[in-house]
Amino acid sequence: MNKTIRRTSVFCLLLVLALLIRASWVQVYEARALADDDHNRRKTIAQYAQPLGDIIVAGKPVTGSKRTVGSDLAYKRTYTQGALYSAVTGYSSQAYGATQLEGIYSHVLDGTDDRLKNPMDAVTGKQAPPGDVLTTIDPDVQKAAYEALGDDKGAAVAIDPRTGQILAMVSTPSYDPSTISGTADGDAWKKLLDDEDKPTVNRALRQPLAPGSTFKLVVAAAALEDGLYGSVDERTDSPNPYPLPGSSRNLENESASAPCENATLRTALQYSCNNVFGKAAVDLGQDKVRAMAEKFGFNADKLDVPVRASASVYPSGMDAAQTAMSGIGQFEVTATPLQIAMVSAALANGGELAAPHMVSKVTDADGDTLRDFADGDTKRVVSASTAEQLRSAMVTVVEEGTGTNARIAGAEVGGKTGTAQNGVDNSRTPYAWFTAYAKDRSGGGEVAVAVVVEDSGAARSEVSGNGLAAPIAQKMMRAALAR
């Protein structure tokens, strides 16, 4: 054979072998990656080829599916009372993807999760019937929170302190996910994106704000655990006003007539005395306050419920004056409503924090469990004695102090108000906070809540935790105790 022809034949053979190897690599090793690529239209077609599984609240689906017309996507997502549950479900959109529970459990809900397939399905590639996601949400508590927030911009969370089950999660203003679930919903999507109130943001989980005086519970816990004060009824060493260290400014109280000078922790919580908690934070030092905050969940690398919450932050590297301001929940301290509810939940549960979660179970189409989220995964935050003392002081806040709008007849209710500064030199409308726990005195239900009202439209002088947030919390707690 001619030497040139032989070389050409070998070269062509090598090219054919290279093509075969590449084709085999694509078919065997890259097939899954290509199939899962978000730009692969076949993936979206498969996702919506059958009715989706459901997100369940109290045994009833709050989602559904609707047959489409004139589209290669056979079904689209629908929602029952979509605005009521949007902070729980998120959205599943043919055009804009999926968020929150819809996104986290998308493969279960569309039937592509490998756990749903039997051996034959795995061989043939047949799509399995979809599974469901069962939540811990109580519809009555959810509705109470949503209706009480009304037109306010804000958020609310309710937790069962004993189990960590999230009973309600509401963010307002809300939106109906059904309006953006199809491929032709561009106008509705643009309207949501252009809305300056950002209704698609879950404020309960992903909007950390200055917690104001609700953070004083953390400082009080640190003071008792460290032994700075022996009890909530021991008088403190707290001048009124408190001169901020290294500064020419004083830390003053909202009410000049409040008995805050050298007040006990109980009285300081009752009247929300800034001087007591600012000085306590300085006396403890920022490291001890931070350590206590982190026990409650601040500065966590991640907090998944299973939707990931934004981190609540207690800062570092502060000077003494900044440390004092951090002691009243200002400076650069931020917290989500979920985090503040966790503080009250831990105190209500004897000092143990049960891991918060809003999904109880994930099942296949036959109701068999794919994953079970057990209750009762707890960690010790403060001693039982410290928790008991702080609960007692929180009851004083509700019975005789700044939280009277949270009272519930026949129940033990303890709480803490907060009015957090907003903007440079408090130039914008303050945030109104309230956190509380309630226990049925007959030995029944328990609940812990947190509410923040970012903007209610009320005059600045009318913004307070007791005036705006406590009534919302009271309605939520009443609904929870009636379970």
Write down the residue that tokens 């307002």 correspond to. Answer: 172
Selection from 363, 364, 344, 362 nearest residue 354 by Cα:
344
DSSP assignment of 300-321 equals -S-EESSSEEPPPB---S--HH
Q: Which residues contact 288 (CB under 8 A, 6 or more apart)?
A: 222, 226
Task: Quote the CA–CA distance of 234 and 241 in Å, as a whole number.
Answer: 19
Q: Extract the runs of DSSP E, i.e. beta strands, from 13-70.
A: 55-57, 60-61, 63-67
Selection from 397, 380, 398, 483 nearest residue 440 by Cα:
483
Task: Quote the CA–CA distance of 375 and 252 in Å, as a whole number.
Answer: 43
What sign does the dihedral 52-55-61-62 (CA atoms) show?
Answer: negative
Candidate list 93, 174, 213, 464, residue with the active-site label: 213
Cβ atoms 74, 44 nearer than 8 A: no
**Burial (Cβ within 10 Å: 0-12, 13-18, ≥19) of residue 109:** buried
3 state SS of 456:
coil
Selection from 154, 197, 478, 86 nearest residue 337 by Cα:
154
3 state SS of 383:
coil
213 catalytic residue (yes or no)? yes
Q: Which two tokens stand for residue 248?
A: 């020419």
What sign does the dihedral 59-132-376-393 (CA atoms) show?
Answer: negative
Cβ atoms 105, 111 nearer than 8 A: no
Q: Which residues contact 70 (CB under 8 A, 6 or more apart)?
A: none
- Residues labelled catalytic: 213
